[in-house]
């Protein structure tokens, strides 16, 4: 859904920039903020996946020894 939102907003920004550069500035900042949030979310998801993988591997390797 984030990619769809970025596509819609970037099209909106391009249309506004063709009319007047001042009208397109605020939506451009909004698109940059959403891109930043998407990158932060990707890092967060990678971190959660790595932690869950480590927990699973620890449990599967050391639980069998007990």
Instruction: Please enumerate in sequence order all residues whose Cβ is within 8 A of that of 5, keeping only pairs 6 or more positions apart, or say none.
Output: 34
Contact between residue 27 and residue 13 where contact means Cβ atoms under 8 Å apart: yes
pLDDT digits (tens, 9 = 90+) for 5-63: 888 888 888 888 888 888 778 888 888 998 899 999 999 999 999 999 999 999 988 87
pTM (global) more than 0.95: no
From the list 63, 55, 6, the residue with the least C-alpha distance to 32 is 6
Would the pLDDT of 66 be above 70? no
Q: Which runs of consecutive H residues, i.e. helices, occur in the chain?
A: 2-19, 25-62
């Amino acid at each position: 859904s984030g990619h769809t939102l970025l596509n819609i907003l970037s099209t909106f920004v391009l249309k506004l920039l063709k009319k007047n550069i001042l009208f397109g500035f605020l939506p451009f900042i909004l698109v940059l903020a959403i891109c930043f949030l998407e990158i932060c979310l990707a890092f967060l998801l990678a971190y959660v996946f790595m932690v869950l993988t480590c927990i699973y591997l620890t449990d599967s390797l050391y639980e069998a020894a007990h």
